[in-house]
Structure 1
Amino acid sequence: MAETKIIETGRLVLHPLGVADAERIVHAEQHGAAAHWGEGYPTQGDIAGVGNFLRGVAERGDPGAYRAYEIRLRADGTAIGGIGFHGPPDADGVVTVGYGLTPAVRGRGYASESLRALIARAREAGATAVRGDADLDNIPSHRVMEAAGMAYEGEDERVRNYRVVFAERA
């Protein structure tokens, strides 16, 4: 399994969550290491995503790089959202991602910046492709995936699907 490490971008830090951090988020316990939470964090989406991460750890063990990450502002460490993988790669090496930001920081490019960094991490860790989806009416999320280099793949009655496929390695 690929090594777990902090991912840094120009403005953000994607902090890999461990079980103790994830449990604090699920129970919305802001103390100690969690005192850096920004206004509105964690959202219901963060709590659900981290809950899925904890179930995955219980079922399959530590996922290495394919885990949940807390999105923090690089300037002061404030947590503003979450991003991560829905689990390890499938049999074809494809991973699925999810993300979300607190309402106060949306519209600043943080989601696409985070997603680009997570896609790069997936490639580095050996995934063959990254996929994601968003509700049909969630136009901002469609734009995030497009800005991160993901291509539209189609839709059903509920969601639009996006994917980025990595070039074959020698």
Structure 2
Amino acid sequence: MPVITLRRISRARAERIYTAQPDASDRWAEDYPLADELDALRFFLASPALSDHHQAFGLYSVHDERGRAVGGIGFFGPPDEEARVTIGYGIVPSARRRGYAAGAVAELLDIARQYGVQLVQAVTDVDNIPSQRVLLGAGFRELRRDEQQCYFDLGLG
């Protein structure tokens, strides 16, 4: 697996990414960010700030070994009353098939474990076979699928 770094996205960074206005500290792949990440950032910016206790359950940018942002990963919110979370992620086309998604999912699972999460859920499009392989490789199991999506979970307890 390649060396990757997750970097938590603050509101200020979210604004820069969303408006495509990087500052001197931002290094991005040419095709960063993905449209799906912009949707997540829009939701993040419109939501109330997470409490200090839940800061870890936000969004992260995925950085390659050169320090460039090549994707995003994050939680759809803090754990629910049953200690469950849902995750989502994406890697830009220019950086795919290099293990970045697998590394990012492994890092996010470590964060979830540190905070006592018991179950991690994820959903992929039926035709997104590479993403399904990432989840299965990380230990997720496929629960079900419909015409459009596949549903996965991983118990951490």
Give the TM-score normalised by structure 1. Answer: 0.85
Give the 3-state SS of the residue equivalent to 2:57 in structure 1.
coil
Alignment partner of 1:160 out of 142, 150, 153: 150
Give the 3-state SS of the residue equivalent to 2:56 in structure 1.
coil
Give the 3-state SS of the residue equivalent to 2:20 in structure 1.
coil
1:17 aligns with 2:17: no
- Superposed, 1:18-33 pairs within 5 Å as 18-33=10-25
Who is 2:99 aligned against? 109
Structure having greater relative contact order (Cα 8 Å, sep ≥ 6): 2
How far residue 147 of structure 1 moved from its aligned partner, in angstroms, is 1.2
Mapped contact 2:2–2:99 kept (Cα < 8 A): no
Note the residue ranges of structure 2 that are not aligned, 5 or more in a row.
none
Matched to 1:64, the amino acid is: Q
**Runs ≥4 in structure 1, deviation > 4 angstroms?**
59-62
Matched to 1:156, the amino acid is: D
Mapped contact 2:37–2:72 kept (Cα < 8 A): yes
Matched to 1:26, the amino acid is: Y
Give the 3-state SS of the residue equivalent to 2:101 in structure 1.
helix
How far residue 60 of structure 1 moved from its aligned partner, in angstroms, is 4.9
- Superposed, 1:19-168 pairs within 5 Å as 19-34=11-26, 36-56=27-47, 58=48, 60-61=50-51, 63-73=54-64, 75-167=65-157
How far residue 157 of structure 1 moved from its aligned partner, in angstroms, is 2.7
Number of aligned residues: 156
Mapped contact 1:129–1:166 kept (Cα < 8 A): yes
Identity %: 35
RMSD in angstroms over aligned alpha carbons? Answer: 1.6
Q: Aligned partners of 2:55 and 2:40: how far apart in 1?
A: 16
Q: Aligned partners of 2:21 and 2:38: how far apart in 1?
A: 11
Distance 1:60 1:109, change over 3 A: closer
Mapped contact 2:71–2:92 kept (Cα < 8 A): yes
Q: Write out per-residue CA displacement over residues 42-77 of structure 1, whole angstroms, 9 at most, x where no aligned residue.
A: 111121122222233x2654531101000001x321
Q: Aligned partners of 2:41 and 2:137: how far apart in 1?
A: 25
Distance 1:59 1:79, change over 3 A: closer
Give the TM-score normalised by structure 2. Answer: 0.92
How far residue 30 of structure 1 moved from its aligned partner, in angstroms, is 2.1
